[in-house]
Amino acid sequence: MEQTIRIENLSKTYSLGKDKTVTALQPLTMSIGSGEVFGLLGPNGAGKTTLVKLLLGITSPTSGGAYVLGDAIPSVRARRFVGFLPENHRYPAHLSGEQTLLFYGNLSGMSGASLRSRIELLLKRVSLYDRRKQRVREYSKGMLQRLGLAQALLNSPRVLFLDEPTDGIDPLGRKEIRDLLLEEKNAGTTIFLNSHLLSEVELVTDRVVIMNKGAVLRAGTTRELTESHGVYTIAYAEGSPVPDAVPGLLSADPVRRTLDVSVATPADLNALIDMLRSRSVLIASIVPKRSSLEDLFLSLVDQQ
């Protein structure tokens, strides 16, 4: 997979005066591929915003460096192919939604019929076309988020940085934005996503990094991070005898007719299944048990 973002030993330390410093980002090395949806998770003060600012060239690193689309940051060329939706963004209140996109399109060097055509397309994609003449001051929080997403997509970016893109949006709107992000991913856009809505992140990301206090606590695919290796939920059919004295039993729910068991190897799992069947237990399903991304996140942060 082609590397869109490459980070090499990147760190950031701020001076507080009188020989006092705070490390916002500890040395970090990683890469993000083309067409990948990458999730960055962490509580306030974890270093997420600092990392995004470094990658956008808004602030300078203390050590290390990074490359976006092959260019070392900061890079004017790379910025032409980057879209950014910051958290708590603000737009001129007296402009309409359409005028706002025209303004930012002009700032990006876009103009004419191609810009107007792009604006019309994006306003329809974010469900704001019918409100395009309405003043931004009259927009709800959800409408402002949709407008911000349209602005971030104006220049058809190859890399898209999104900070809380679904904040303030209702469940139907979040589903629409998820679909839009997946469309962008399928078109080859690399998406760098910050969000505290972990259930949303779990639905769209290919990989996630969990950070706290400037350091990476865990990294991997959502499945890798949430799968409890060797733990399975076994469901048995109605009318089967309730199993007892089950090796490796973690918990049992006789109402739902399920057993949570822990086994060391696939051979142990098969031996357990054979034992249950020998007791006339009719097995309905066997599913590897997964925790939610939120459970993992809270567990890791609590350990800090």
What CATH number does residue 187 fall under?
A: 3.40.50.300
pLDDT in tens, 148-178: 999 999 999 999 999 888 877 888 888 888 8
What tokens does 29 get?
A: 């090395």
pLDDT at 192: 93
Assign 234 a pLDDT band (cuts: 50, 70, 90): very high
Find the DSSP H helices in the chain: 48-56, 76-79, 97-107, 112-125, 141-153, 171-186, 198-204, 222-226, 266-278, 293-302
> 97 pLDDT exceeds 60?
yes
Q: In the chain, what's the furthest Cα-to-Cα distance?
A: 76
269: confidence class by pLDDT, cuts 50, 70, 90: very high
- Identify whether the C-beta of residue 204 lies closer than 8 Å to the C-beta of residue 37: yes
Regarding whether 214 and 93 lie in a shared domain, the answer is yes
pLDDT band at 135 (very low <50, low <70, confident <90, very high): very high
Asked whether residue 197 falls in the same domain as residue 237, the answer is no
Indicate if the pLDDT at residue 180 is higher than 60.
Answer: yes
Q: Are residues 107 and 50 in the same domain?
A: yes
Q: How many residues does the chain have?
A: 304
At 102, the amino acid letter reads L
Residues 296 and 196 in one domain: no
Which of 207, 224, 241 lies at the terminal end of a domain, its last residue? 224
Same domain, yes or no: 219 and 236: no
Whether residue 304 is predicted with pLDDT greater than 70 in this model: the reply is no
Query: pLDDT tier at 297 (50, 70, 90 boundaries)?
Result: confident
| Predicted local confidence at residue 225, as pLDDT | 82
| 10 contacts: CB under 8 Å, gap ≥ 6 | 25, 27, 28, 29, 51, 54, 61, 63, 64, 65, 66
Residue 118 pLDDT greater than 70, yes or no: yes
Mean per-residue pLDDT, 272-277: 93
Asked if pLDDT for residue 275 goes beyond 60, the answer is yes
The mean of the pLDDT values for the chain is 89
**Number of domains making up the chain:** 2
Among residues 224, 252, 284, which one ends one of the domains?
A: 224
Same domain, 266 and 206: no
- Both 25 and 84 in a single domain? yes
Domain enclosing residue 295, as ranges: 228-302
Helix (H, G, I), strand (E, B) or coil at 96: strand
Supply the pLDDT for residue 91.
Answer: 92
* pLDDT band at residue 267 using 50, 70 and 90 as cut-offs: very high
> Looking at residue 154, what is its pLDDT?
95
pLDDT of residue 148: 93
* One domain for residues 154 and 10: yes
**Whether 68 and 189 share a structural domain:** yes
- Name the pTM for this structure: 0.80
pLDDT value at position 1? 56
pLDDT band for position 117 (cuts 50, 70, 90): very high
